[in-house]
Amino acid sequence: MIQVYTGNGKGKTTAALGLAFRAAGHGFNVIMIQFMKGKINYGELESAKLLSNFSIEQYGRPDFVNPEKPDKIDIDLAKQAMERSREVINSQKFDMVILDEINVAVSYGLIQVDDVIELIKSTPNKMELILTGRGMPQELEGYVDLISEVREVKHYFQKGIPAREGIEH
């Protein structure tokens, strides 16, 4: 199945991680490829190291990407993440592949929606593919099996509370 977790609320990556840990607990081989994330000590990186059948690879910088005018390095890293995604899917060594923040990479123009569609089409039936990130391109809707939209109703960021270690990262 092809699953998408999108929307402006908190919890898309967290939902994908929940699926990853559940699948890993059943002996599935799982990989998460993170677009636009890198060099930040995300707690999930440490947790994944404790499991032999779950790995996370990051393709990004610790800085935010400028959506209006992304730096060349951001485009290059997103292309590397896409190439790695193709390799992973074609290898058929994994039961679950998570492409974290891929929707955002498309909406920022770092990668093309047609390339994501081709990736989806090339996914073997026995493989679970998870796509996360706000702003899912509408073009994907006809190619996926599940879309969950996380909607922000209230968030403590609005009160000025910063991201907390162990909760947001």
Confidence of residue 42 (pLDDT cuts 50, 70, 90): confident
Q: Does domain 2-151 have CATH number 1.10.8.50?
A: no
Domain boundaries, the chain: 2-151
User: For residues 148 and 151, what is the distance between their CA atoms, to the nearest angstrom?
Assistant: 10
Q: Which token pair is 144?
A: 């996926």
Tell me: pLDDT of 169 over 90: no
Q: Quick one: pLDDT at residue 83?
A: 98
- Which of 96-105, 130-139, 149-158 shows the lowest per-residue confidence on average (mean pLDDT)? 149-158
Write down the pTM of the prediction: 0.93
Q: Quick one: pLDDT at residue 142?
A: 97
Confidence of residue 60 (pLDDT cuts 50, 70, 90): very high
6 versus 165: which is more confidently predicted? 6
Sign of the C-alpha dihedral computed for residues 119, 72, 31 and 7 taken in this order: negative
Tell me: pLDDT of 152 over 90: no
Q: Quick one: pLDDT at residue 154?
A: 80
Q: Is 133 left (phi over 0), alpha (psi -120 to 50) or beta?
A: left
Q: Quick one: pLDDT at residue 159?
A: 77
